[in-house]
Chain A
């Protein structure tokens, strides 16, 4: 059975209409992943010496144990964003005489085959071998490493469950943000030291095998928690929660002042509110509004003179996250009804311009909401203003231009469970050129003339982009027009 599944999965990948692109991205990502894993291994090998040289604690192992909990907190966060369940077409198998539990086991176990699984092994394996083995003995090093790995793997199952269970609800944002604050804030403000609190667990593992047994039980339990949840919800419909946005989705009346594009923006707004997937992106906006707190209160980035260049990055995110995230799947959102827009008179133009309108509107709202950050210094307000203008004038065009490169279809009506279509590391790739852009403007000016002049340059370039909006948007519209047959046929094919 499993062999059949694996074979089918392979055929599905290799016959996808976007195979060549997926392959190119896959090779690139694979290479990046390999590079990152190599770096992690190097850090792992060097960890013992770094700790000895920089901190010179009494016992290197106990010192590391007291900081392990921070690693796991970080792991919770990166797993939340990066980890994904393999896309699996459940409805093609549910009616066949295959046990549901078999399908779910296959699904869960294949999610485990991922580079994330071996990250703790690469980081802490060398340490167990180089430091713990000579000092505490071979058994202790195995038990210690086992405890670390099992904790990490429990987090894997737990996050799979958590993400799906609370998907798109406000709780996720609160919990994840709580974890960030808890991790960075607690020892910074000196409430209490969670590192010291968890340290005995792993120190105990140096002397005794009990922790590894307990953690193995935890890992198995978390697997079955996850399994039970997915097994129970292996239906074509969503989990029976009511959908508060469905009927109450207010249309944004003022948008109709902008004519046909306004109407399209209005339609798009409804689309966003009525689909789980798009709503997640909207909540992400709120989340990134708080993102600034991590940087602005961190003493490592604040200095008496000027500001950290990193803040530009933060500013870009705060007012631009929606257009970056949502915009990457630019036309894919409409893949199910693309023929509808094609069929309307000047429908494509209105669709593209409507999206411009929506992105700009949400960007303005995010900027206004971020004004209270001025509490941390006027610099931050100026940075936000400059990056906001840059987003409105340049990023918006860049995102749309890049997103029009072979859009992929996406099924919004698919139940949100088991559906991670389009979400993954791949879309983060597009962010690279987008983040290079503001620095390409800012850094040269800041270097030759000064930081504030750099900000002014950002703002001015943004303003020029805004003035050139009719010209630049026409390019995007033209591009959609030129490729409309390709796009619509690719949208029809895979749905």
Chain B
């Protein structure tokens, strides 16, 4: 699904990201962990072609993200609130997305139906602009927007942050369900080790822009991650 080759991002002399090769197969749940400033968000931004890579390429289904744009309809993402139109209400925002993705009203209500639990009646039908929502609710809107139009891959930056415990559980359920039913590939960065270990098949550990661990064995993940982050 996603192929990375010889990817480098430099700001002047400092290299902030250096990934020689990485391959993420379809319907994998890919977890990205690392300390602050490890380059997680930068990596996501480069995958989405929001920031130019200094060297190397990212391919989505064989398409170079910097060269064409067809991949955009296959990939959904929510990194931060700048990806939303904060001056709209959530309903209006979803409707605007519906027009951009050329979906019917039925498609939209089917889509939003999946988020009924997560939204917990706090998002839809309210006369509140997105900019006035709490951080948790803002995140929920972003996640629902990222999964718009049945994407094949979804990138989420810190999806569990700011969510209340029951929403965190609901989100996990939703992600697993999407993965099972629609074979969606998830790329998730998080600081919450328990959540990522629970849902991800594979966890990559970034340190100063370099992949230092690529854990694929569920059984040994916990030990290695706890050892690295010094938590017990």
Segment among B25-33, B92-100, B190-198 that sits at the interface with chain A: B92-100
A426 proximal to B (CB < 8 A)? no
Nearest-neighbour CB distance to chain B for A154, whole angstroms, equals 29
State the CA gap A4–B100 with chains docked (Å).
Answer: 8
B72 to A, closest residue via Cβ: A97
B87 proximal to A (CB < 8 A)? yes
Number of A-B residue pairs with CB-CB distance less than 8 Å in the complex they form: 63
State the CA gap A97–B72 with chains docked (Å).
Answer: 5
Nearest-neighbour CB distance to chain A for B127, whole angstroms, equals 12
Q: With A4-B100, A95-B77 as given contacts, are A235 and B69 in contact (CB-CB < 8 Å)?
A: no
Contact between A493 and B131, CB atoms less than 8 A apart? yes
| Contact partners of A235 in chain B: CB under 8 A | 49-52
B68 to A, closest residue via Cβ: A99
Contact of A11 among B52, B72, B92 (CB under 8 A): B92
A228 proximal to B (CB < 8 A)? no
Contact of B129 among A15, A91, A99, A236 (CB under 8 A): A15
State the CA gap A95–B85 with chains docked (Å).
Answer: 13
B206 proximal to A (CB < 8 A)? no
B209 proximal to A (CB < 8 A)? no
| Contact partners of A240 in chain B: CB under 8 A | 52
| Contact partners of B131 in chain A: CB under 8 A | 493-494
Contact of B83 among A1, A95, A242 (CB under 8 A): A95
| Contact partners of B72 in chain A: CB under 8 A | 95-98
Q: Please tell me the number of chain A residues within 8 Å of chain B, measured between CB atoms.
A: 24
Contact between A92 and B82, CB atoms less than 8 A apart? yes
B149 proximal to A (CB < 8 A)? yes
Contact of B84 among A92, A99, A493 (CB under 8 A): A92
| Contact partners of B51 in chain A: CB under 8 A | 235-237
Contact between B50 and A91, CB atoms less than 8 A apart? yes
Contact between A97 and B92, CB atoms less than 8 A apart? no
B97 to A, closest residue via Cβ: A96
Contact between A98 and B100, CB atoms less than 8 A apart? yes
Q: Which residues, 68 to 109 on A, are CB-close (under 8 Å) to B?
A: 89, 91-92, 94-100
Q: List chain A positions with a Cβ less than 8 A from chain B.
A: 1, 4, 8, 11-12, 15-16, 89, 91-92, 94-100, 235-237, 240, 242, 493-494
Beyond A11-B88, A89-B82, A97-B69, 15 additional contacts (C-beta under 8 Å) are A1-B100, A11-B92, A12-B87, A91-B50, A91-B83, A94-B49, A97-B101, A235-B49, A235-B50, A235-B51, A236-B51, A237-B51, A237-B52, A493-B131, A494-B131
